[in-house]
Structure 1
């Protein structure tokens, strides 16, 4: 039996098939609910249930605790409706969201950006019809059917910049990782990969007037880079501060690129933050946790929008502290938590 899911305050609705997860039904019908990992790990898809019955598949307590579930919150990525359901989510996209496409992609370039970060440029088929928002991600479909997710690091307008359709990704090497061991070891240019996308609700809400905080840790910079390119291309001049956190200075692997944008985008400010500098680094800048640097500079975030991308620990801490300590409206926090396979099996 199918059930109707209604999203408030937009009033949009969609149908779920028997046993179908709410998020998957929404994606299938072009209803853009917030999400990131799709497997009960990160909590990005957590919304309040206003009415109806939902049962959950396996998920981590950090994504949805028993107390939150008792208060009426659900994870749409692993929640299955048992009746008509009404949920509350302000982050629902307009009708006609970009469709998910499957296609082959050829490795056009492998460029080390740091000892453990690779720029992977993909050439798409000439007749591809991929559309995406700056900030979204794609999935590699591996030969055994497993998947790996990576954000596009180039803005949509750059897709045809070189004449052939090209996308950039930034991949961090996870030693022992099935995919990244191959990328950093045996992968060669012209290799064919299978991709699927776009996915994710992490992209700029361009119609809003709020000043923007961009927050990244590590390769969480990739979708932020795409957003910055998009903002420049579209002439978006909202006041924007970009905080990039890393363990040591050399981990800010495109620091010079960001600094180059400052001269081109007068509304943009940049605050690099290092957590574990060594004496030989001679680091003179900000230190500590990157989200704490934001709170030091902006104790009142009630009129801002925040876009955060990086480790689940950073994203979770930023969401909690920005909302509880700085008054950021929860619906103005947009996030993409990079979950590795190790994160997914962690308790």
Structure 2
């Protein structure tokens, strides 16, 4: 059975099969609903059901608490329609500018940047290019239909292999392979680009770029993209880790700060050890933003990293720092372990 989905306030409509999620149907129809993980863990696709009946596939309760669901909130990546449905959602202009493609690639380089971080670069076939927006991600297509998502750390202007920052999760199906048997020239298949985490270039508001761990990857792509475009927009990067070694491209960030008058860098360490001799900022990275910028009413925030950091930042920035809810853009890095919680 096929149902009609209507998006408010835009009025856009698209059809949805009964075994298809509302998000999947929207993507198929070229309607730009926001999304991130597509697995019910990050809440990027959360909106509201105004009328009609839906049920949700398994998802993290943290992403959609039962009390919110009872009031009509919905995770569209998990929502199955059982009637015609009217939803309320903020659409993302430009999210469907570049088609999602399945492509083969060859591992070009594997560079260890920290004990648990490897930068992988991928070479595409001759005469092939991947068009994407800085901040988007790709999904590796693994055996048995499994997928693993990684943000592109290289800007779209870069005529070089695609770069990805991969953190080792012991026992992880894909990361054990990357940190173990994988070698240069291995073939990997992926699908992309995906996601609605990319810079909104129709604004000149100062930007807070907030990253934890390898959440730095899409932030790096955004900074290098804006630099390539000659943008003079103010950017302040807050990058957090437990130990200094977690800021595995700290030197690059300091180079940006020295070279770009519109870029500022604030590294923050949450658990420094005496042997680290850390003399910089400490604590939770989003709280450093709040200390420096208690009024975010005129800013945009781009946050990427662990779900707990992203969720805490949004709640605190909106409630305590006057950040408009619709000026917080995020990509929560969910792992397979997160999805099984």
Shorter-chain-normalised TM-score: which range? over 0.9
Aligned residue number for residue 144 of structure 2: 144
Distance 1:145 1:95, change over 3 A: closer
Aligned residue number for residue 208 of structure 1: 203
1:279 aligns with 2:274: yes
Aligned residue number for residue 254 of structure 1: 249
Alpha-carbon offset, residue 95 of structure 1: 7.5
- 1:318 counterpart (307, 313, 317): 313
Aligned residue number for residue 296 of structure 1: 291
Q: How many residues align?
A: 341
- 2:162 counterpart (164, 167, 175): 167
Distance 1:35 1:96, change over 3 A: closer
SS of residue in 2 equivalent to 1:38: coil
Alpha-carbon offset, residue 75 of structure 1: 0.3
Equivalent runs, 1:23-62 vs 2, <5 Å? 23-62=23-62
Could you state the TM-score of these two structures normalised by the residue count of structure 2?
0.96
**Which structure 1 residue ranges, 4+ long, deviate > 3 Å from structure 2?**
none
SS of residue in 1 equivalent to 2:144: coil
Gap regions ≥5 residues in structure 1 = none
Alpha-carbon offset, residue 53 of structure 1: 2.1
Whether the 8 Å contact between 1:31 and 1:93 is mirrored in structure 2 is no
Whether the 8 Å contact between 1:140 and 1:149 is mirrored in structure 2 is yes
Aligned residue number for residue 242 of structure 1: 237
Gap regions ≥5 residues in structure 2 = none
Distance 2:273 2:172 in 1: 28
Aligned residue number for residue 120 of structure 1: 120
1:109 aligns with 2:114: no
Whether the 8 Å contact between 2:106 and 2:122 is mirrored in structure 1 is yes
Whether the 8 Å contact between 2:34 and 2:90 is mirrored in structure 1 is no
SS of residue in 2 equivalent to 1:157: coil
Equivalent runs, 1:174-185 vs 2, <5 Å? 174-185=169-180
Alpha-carbon offset, residue 319 of structure 1: 1.1
Distance 1:175 1:95, change over 3 A: closer
Alpha-carbon offset, residue 284 of structure 1: 1.1
Alignment RMSD? 1.4
Could you state the TM-score of these two structures normalised by the residue count of structure 1?
0.95
Distance 1:314 1:170 in 2: 19
Aligned residue number for residue 77 of structure 1: 77
CA deviations on 1:99-129 (whole Å, 9 max, x unpaired) are 1100111001011111110010000112435
Distance 1:50 1:330 in 2: 20
Distance 1:95 1:192 in 2: 28
SS of residue in 2 equivalent to 1:187: coil
Whether the 8 Å contact between 2:95 and 2:196 is mirrored in structure 1 is no
CA deviations on 1:169-219 (whole Å, 9 max, x unpaired) are 000011111111111111111100111111111000110122111000000
SS of residue in 2 equivalent to 1:27: helix
Whether the 8 Å contact between 2:148 and 2:174 is mirrored in structure 1 is yes
Whether the 8 Å contact between 2:32 and 2:96 is mirrored in structure 1 is no
Aligned residue number for residue 191 of structure 1: 186
1:133 aligns with 2:133: yes
Distance 1:313 1:139, change over 3 A: same
